[in-house]
Amino acid sequence: MAHYDIAVMPGDGIGPEVVDAALSVLKECQARYGLTINYAFYDFSADLYRRTGRKITAADMDEIGEADAVLFGAMGLPDVRGPEGLELGAQVEMRAHYGLFSSLRPVRLFPGVESPVKAKDIDMLVIRETSEGMFAGLSDYHEPSDESASDRMTITRATCEKLFDVAFSQARARRKRGTPGHVTLLHKSNALRSNVLMEKVFDEVAARNTDVGSAKYYIDAGSMYMVTDPERYDVVVSENIFGDIISEIAAGLVGGLGVAPSADVSLTHGVFQPSHGSAPDIAGKGIANPIAMILSTAMMLEWLGGQHDDDLCIRVAQNIQAAVEAALASGPLARDLGGTAGTQQVLETIIKALPA
Ligand code: NAD
């Protein structure tokens, strides 16, 4: 049986609260199903930077990258900014350092949760490119001033090929769950040269994967369909900042950020974190919904199972997903879903629902 080393980075705000909950679930799974995990904790956060000036370095990331996977809470506080005026958070640095080019963001309407739209069968995977595009720190082509500032959208063929290979293989793997196997590219090739290249490479990769259906929409129309007809989507893939935005629209369709997990992965490294941020407005109140973090932990186990050919890990991931589904169906629900339960009560309901 495999043994895993997990680096844990709780971060800021509600990060430590939801990470604690996820670790309780993992430790229960270790006791119940015989998983073996060692944890190494790293306290990088915007708060640490504010207090000490210390931020994550390449040497830190080399050390952290030795772990089999990283569990990440949330990082960043709106009032803590570095010298460039940007917020501090290790997630962008880690994406660059480990070459995490795809952020997998599954979005599913669970029984017991109400959607603000009429659709009932929402089950999609948004894949956001995360190593380039308009969000990757490539903003250095001229110094910003009070009069003008620029950011650059750069997209490369090599990243697009890897990204779309992931999208088509995810669509194929999701067929096991009865979904049809379909990939949609959301892009803006009518206006952005970078997106012309992205669309061209998408067509090439789609032509090599004709067993999976494919479609393309301009990001503006595609965003409208996300709200008016989300059931048309299975796997949705997009550029970094477009993907950032549409993944949160998608999360809003199924109850919000409190139930939206994510996995930032390359072919060798994985950082698993909820789609939400540090939520300073509710930090310290014991009311953060831990489900997005717990589902991200299940994604970590699923990914480790795939990387290491470890069926136990995959079964435990499925058990956690089943327990979350049962807990949402039975309630009590957390406040962001219209209920009254706090973090601890949601956690206890999930642990009780874990299969024997
Ligand atoms: P946010 O995701 O932290 O919060 C948005 C809203 O959703 C808030 O009302 C919050 O209370 C609510 N919310 C988020 N997670 C929740 C949960 N688990 N349970 C219940 N409600 C939840 O976004 P924001 O307020 O725009 O940003 C706050 C900070 O987080 C900023 O500093 C931002 O840069 C940072 N951030 C970090 C990450 C990350 O670590 N990956 C992602 C996004 C934002």
Count CB neighbours of 65 within 10 A. Answer: 15
Residues 248-259 pLDDT 10s: 999 999 999 999
Pocket flag, ligand 1, residue 278 (CB < 6 Å): yes
C-alpha 158 – ligand 1 centre gap (Å): 32
Residues 250-293 pLDDT 10s: 999 999 999 999 999 999 999 999 999 999 999 999 999 999 99
Q: In a mutational test of the pocket of ligand 1, which residue from 12, 257, 324 has the highest number of ligand atoms less than 8 Å from its CB? A: 257
- Cβ neighbourhood burial of 149 (10 Å; 0-12, 13-18, 19+): exposed
Pocket flag, ligand 1, residue 281 (CB < 6 Å): yes
C-alpha 279 – ligand 1 centre gap (Å): 4
Pocket flag, ligand 1, residue 251 (CB < 6 Å): no
Contact 295, 324 (CB under 8 A): yes
Contact 199, 187 (CB under 8 A): yes
Pocket flag, ligand 1, residue 283 (CB < 6 Å): no
Taking the C-alpha atoms of residue 226 and residue 247, their distance in angstroms, rounded to an integer, is 10
pLDDT exceeds 70 at position 136: no
Q: Which atom of ligand 1 is nearest to the CA of 290?
A: 18
Q: What's the one-letter identity of residue 184?
A: T
Residues 170-219 pLDDT 10s: 999 999 778 779 999 999 999 999 999 999 999 999 999 999 999 999 99
Contact 20, 85 (CB under 8 A): no
C-alpha distance across the termini of the chain, in Å: 19
Pocket flag, ligand 1, residue 124 (CB < 6 Å): no
Pocket flag, ligand 1, residue 248 (CB < 6 Å): no
> What does DSSP say about strands 270-274 and 69-74: parallel, antiparallel, or unpaired?
parallel
Pocket flag, ligand 1, residue 91 (CB < 6 Å): yes
Using DSSP, state whether 71 is helix, strand or coil: strand
Residues 154-166 pLDDT 10s: 999 999 999 999 9
Count CB neighbours of 102 within 10 A. Answer: 26
Closest residue by CA, ligand 1 atom 8:
279
Taking the C-alpha atoms of residue 22 and residue 291, their distance in angstroms, rounded to an integer, is 8
